[in-house]
Amino acid sequence: MTTRTESEEMSTATPAQAPHSDAPTGHKPAEGRVGAGLFDPGQLVKSLPDACRKLDPRVMVKSPVMFVVWIGSVLTTVFSFKDPGDWFGWAISAWLWLTVIFANLAEAVAEGRGKAQADTLRKAKTDTVARRVDGTEVPGTELRIGDLVVCEAGDIIPGDGDVVEGVASVDESAITGESAPVIRESGGDRSAVTGGTKVLSDRIVIRITTKPGETFIDRMINLVEGAARQKTPNEIALNILLASLTIVFLLAVATLPPFADYAGTHLTMVVLVALLVCLIPTTIGALLSAIGIAGMDRLVQRNVLAMSGRAVEAAGDVSTLLLDKTGTITLGNRQAAEFVPVNGVAEAEVADAAQLSSLADETPEGRSIVVLAKERYGLRERRQGELSGAEWIAFTAQTRMSGVDVDGRRIRKGAAGSVVAWVRERGGEVSEDASALTDRISAAGGTPLLVAVEDTEGARVLGVIHLKDVVKEGMRERFDELRRMGIKTVMITGDNPLTAKAIAEEAGVDDFLAEATPEDKMALIKREQAGGKLVAMTGDGTNDAPALAQADVGVAMNTGTSAAKEAGNMVDLDSNPTKLIEIVEIGKQLLITRGALTTFSIANDVAKYFAIIPALFAAVYPGLDKLNIMDLSSPDSAILSAVIFNALIIIALVPLALRGVRYRPVSADRLLRRNLGIYGLGGLIAPFIGIKIIDLLISLIPGIG
């Protein structure tokens, strides 16, 4: 296992979360600026040409609803040219074209927000010269999978790969945005390097693992520009539903001319097209693509690379979450929590001996013992050089002890078995209460370290140090939120079941898997999936790759191996395992936003029906005038008002589509009631108010009202 440097720990916090990665999940720092880009004049100017370019029928046909509107715009324009004096036809044509452009503008704005990041990434994607191990130099674009290249201090890494020899400090700021360098070394789970990053020190040999044009930066550029975004299954299903509704309304509108002729009135092609456009679900049809792009963009803002939109959507439907204990639920390094003396020994004496024996222990656990003695017992931290004549015993994995021989005393601290053996070698005995204390701490999920001394009274145990795997602050609240979402949390750990149970109870997870092997993880995922559940998990090692590939949402750490990153369908560039919780929330927000705006759009259509149909036939069938509850001034004004409202509501809802509907962890039935109450009722009422206001404004225009 590799030891993590302080700078690497710093690099795992996102800019929004630093210095602590356990900020409440409800905090969405990046979202405050998401919707703002719509009304930024610069962004609008940049996006408008793209929106106009999307008027190409080969592009429009990908959205069936908006393609129908595009065809309607062409037809009304043609008929307007046939009758140039018909102001109504020209007005309808203009607003239908604006409807199509506004729909394209929503998608263009969503895509444009990633262009700046893509430009930054392109700057990082430099054409470098690679130095092979045989001494030959070739352009980085000519490297192939399996090639071995050498990188030294100051070199730009020419391609994605794994370190197979050496250790180096690497600047990954071009990828992660974090300036703190990270350590990359061979033989561990932190061997992966990314093309375009810079070696700051030492020398490493890298085995290339990707082809030119398929590197990490290439995939990120494609992602943020939308070039690689495929429609997800739910999005395809919704498109089919919208297309079906469009066909139904098309057939319904097609039957109206015969009825109108029979009733003695005539419906022009312009009126029929306007009616069709207002009745089909144009609002959600216009915003559907923008919603998907914005969901992917929210992940990019959190430095998460999703290999497919399917993974983002699956995150929203996840019902089981597998989380590593170390570094995810806990801080990762065990810390000293208390000093417990045996009978007849003062607690301060144990603290003093524990601190002295830990000065030669450079592990995080040893440092925490020194700090605890200083903070809780007021013992000044002494340096090794301050004790003259002292012989220091450094901690090693073989002895599992550290200590000091000073002033006629020998003090040792370490694992229970090692210290007990040391005491008995010197003719001492270990008291029963020392064994009882050790068992009690182990049962509570902690790690007991014994402190012993040999002096004129002989060798004996003074007490026990309680090392505790500290659960991150706020984790219980996070898991409570996940539980309210209906998500089951499972902690994965290599600890024994007793320790795992104690940590699981403290953290508040629903279940745990102790002494986990790769096979155990795979079996657990398959068991959950067999029950119809979607599973998400994180991992960074080669041994995690099978489970990451099996999981519906597999989030690989950027610091991990290439095998892990290839197996997962998401990569966390910050290598912060707790971000999996945020990914689930982003996925749910995407699905909720899509559902909310679909509800609003369909409710809109119902209201527009009451605006147009009575206006069309009230002159022939006076009884229909009772349905003209908005008291619109004329048939032409009613139709034109509905078309104008239909266009403006699209542009008004773009900020919501980009920002997303705020997600709260509630049950599905409460979520449905909220959607119907806010977006269903709102979609029903808004057109009545909006169309009436537009009608009043139109009626003020001489010769029209």
In one-letter notation, the amino acid at residue 609 is: Y
Question: Looking only at Cα atoms, what is the longest distance across the chain?
Answer: 120
Q: What are phi and psi of 578, to 5 degrees?
A: -70, -10
Q: How far apart are the first and last CA of the chain?
A: 79
Any binding-site annotation on 395?
yes
The verdict on whether omega for the bond into residue 364 sits within 30 degrees of 0, i.e. cis, is no
Distance, in Å, from the CA atom of 99 to the CA atom of 652, rounded to the nearest integer, reads: 12
Q: Are 249 and 69 in contact (CB under 8 A)?
A: no
**Residue 402 annotated as lining a ligand binding site:** yes
Q: Check the annotation: does 155 bind a ligand.
A: no
C-alpha span between 411 and 452 (Å, rounded)? 6
401 known ligand binder: yes
- Residues whose CB falls within 8 Å of the CB of residue 154, separated by 6 or more in sequence, listed in order: 198, 199, 200
Say whether 155 is catalytic: no
What is the distance between the alpha carbons of residues 537 and 529, in angstroms, rounded to a whole number?
13
Is 399 assigned a ligand-binding role in the annotation?
yes
Which of 290, 307, 305 is CA-nearest to residue 121?
A: 305
Residue 65: C-alpha distances to residues 191, 238, 400, 481, 514 (Å): 49, 11, 70, 38, 52
Angle value at C-alpha 174, between 170 and 177, nearest 5 degrees: 95
Is 397 annotated in a binding site? The answer is yes
What are the two backbone dihedrals, phi and then psi, of residue 177, each rounded to the nearest 5 degrees?
85, 0
Query: Measuring CA to CA, which residue among 26, 20, 16, 19 is closest to residue 480?
Result: 26
SS3 at position 260? helix
Query: Cα–Cα distance between 521 and 526 in angstroms, integer?
Result: 9
Q: Is 361 annotated as a binding residue?
A: yes
- H/E segment holding residue 340: strand 335-341
DSSP string, 441-475: HHHTT-EEEEEEEEETTEEEEEEEEEEE-PBPTTH
Catalytic residue among 155, 171, 218, 324: 324
Q: Which residues carry a binding-site annotation for ATP?
A: 361, 365, 395-402, 413
Q: Which residues carry a binding-site annotation?
A: 361, 365, 395-402, 413, 540, 544
Q: Which residues carry a binding-site annotation for Mg(2+)?
A: 540, 544
Q: Which residues are catalytic?
A: 324
